[in-house]
Amino acid sequence: MKIVRDEGEGKGKGKKKKEVDTIIDDSTAIVKFDIETAVIVALDTKYKDIKVTDTKSYAFVKKGIGEYRELRLKIDDRHKVLKKDALEYGRRVDAEKNRLKGLLEPGENHLKEIRQVEDDRKAEIKAAKEAIEQARVDKIRSRINDLQNMLINLPSMGMEEMLAIGERLILIETSVVDYMEFTEEAVALKERLYNAVITSIESVKAREIEEARIEKIRIEQDAAQKKIDEANQKLEEKEVALEKKEWERTEKIRIAKEMEEEKIKVEKEQEAETDRLEKEIVEQNALKPDKEKMIEYANDLIVIPAPKLKTEEAKKLMIAMEIRFDKLITGFKNQIDKL
């Protein structure tokens, strides 16, 4: 890419020369690095089949690496020189672009400001018209919504409210002047509301008549039920009194029977206890002579004197025997007491 400065004569007297930068595209031109491709090919051929077999061949390889490095460094140095001009050109192109755009900006912004003033004025006019139109539509829609709300709330209204709405509908005029493009909707809604009011009033009247009839029947049924309840109450009271008397009579019989059974049981238990005591006395009286004889025998055994012994072993054995003998006699006497 090259820039050529063209200085031409200005037409007319007193006019300055006009300078024009002409850009010539030479992107297809070959960039020269002062190194022929044949040199690199020759270098590759020179070291292609080399192998390290001794110190001499090793030194030859190191020499080849040095030659490659030397060419690579030359290429880097040349690249820096060539690119320096390109970077400088790019900076000058950017600076010129910014300068020219800076000259255009004030005029463009001035026209934009003028256009914005006019756009804002038109927007204000449009907004004002839309606000007026919206207010007109809202006013009409408000009247229509009032009719719609009456229709929605009609089922929860009483007779007086529905009669008032019916009278109000007669006075409401749904003219084109008032409702404009919504006139057809307003007329239909008014007619629908009026018919609904008439139907609701008739329905309420019929419901009130039916409720009055049902209420009369309910009062009559309540009166009849009250008489039935009173008669049932008296009958229940009589039945309760009879049940109470019968329960008292039955309870007296049950208590008398239980008392008689308890009396018989006590008498039997007393007879059995008397028989047991008499039997026990007879048995004790029958055993009494033997019991006394055995106690006397046990006492005699206790007072038997121990023989005089000489050896210590015999004495120890005798003492042990006496202890065991005393325990045996004591147990014997305890068994005798239980007879």
More confident residue, 286 or 148: 148
Say if 166 falls within a structural domain.
yes
Question: Would 38 be classed as within a structural domain?
Answer: yes
For residues 5 and 18, is the Cβ–Cβ distance under 8 A? no
Q: pLDDT above 70 covers what percent of the chain?
A: 87
**Which of 130, 165, 195 represents a domain boundary (last residue)?**
130
User: How much is the pLDDT for 285?
Assistant: 61
In a domain, 11, yes or no: no
**Residue where a domain stops, chosen among 83, 105, 130:** 130
Instruction: Kindly state whether residues 111 and 36 are assigned to the same domain.
Output: yes
Whether the CA torsion 99, 100, 103, 108 is positive or negative: it is negative
Examine the domain organization and report whether 154 and 106 are in the same domain: no
pLDDT at 321: 82
pLDDT band at 128 (very low <50, low <70, confident <90, very high): very high
pLDDT in tens, 90-120: 888 888 888 877 887 887 787 888 888 888 9
Q: Considering the domain boundaries, does residue 162 fall inside one?
A: yes
Rounded to whole angstroms, the Cα distance separating 123 from 129 reads: 10
- Where helices occur in 48-154 by DSSP H, the ranges are 55-153
One domain for residues 170 and 108: no
Give the ranges where the chain is alpha helix by DSSP (H): 37-47, 55-153, 159-171, 176-179, 183-302, 312-337
Whether residues 83 and 148 fall in one domain: no
Residues 109 and 161 in one domain: no
Q: Can you tell me the distance from the alpha carbon of 85 to that of 74, in angstroms, rounded to the nearest whole number?
A: 18
Same-domain status, 142 and 187: yes
Same domain, 120 and 155: no
Q: Is there a single domain that holds both residue 125 and residue 141?
A: no
Q: What is the pLDDT of residues 13-58, one digit of tens each?
A: 444 444 434 444 444 444 566 777 888 888 888 888 888 888 888 8
Cα separation of 76 and 86, whole Å?
A: 15
- Domain contains 12: no
Does 126 lie in the same domain as 34? Answer: yes
Q: Is 308 helix (H, G, I), strand (E, B) or coil?
A: coil
Handedness of CA 287, 292, 296, 301 (dihedral sign): positive
Do 121 and 69 lie in one domain? The reply is yes
Mean pLDDT of 63-84: 84
**Cβ 166 vs Cβ 198: under 8 Å:** yes
Asked whether residue 295 is assigned to any structural domain, the reply reads no
| Alpha carbons within 13 A on the beta-carbon side of 205 | 8
Q: Are residues 138 and 73 in the same domain?
A: no
Q: Is the pTM of this model over 0.85?
A: no
Query: Does residue 281 belong to any structural domain of this protein?
Result: no
Judgement on whether residues 118 and 149 belong to the same structural domain of the protein: no
Total of domains in the chain: 3
Of 123-132, 188-197, 288-297, where does the model show the most confidence?
Answer: 123-132
Domain that holds residue 25: 19-130
Among residues 189, 217, 232, the one where a domain terminates is 232
- Average pLDDT of the residues of the chain: 78
Report yes or no on 209 lying in a domain: yes
CA dist 92 and 54 (Å) reads: 58
pLDDT at 241 over 60: yes
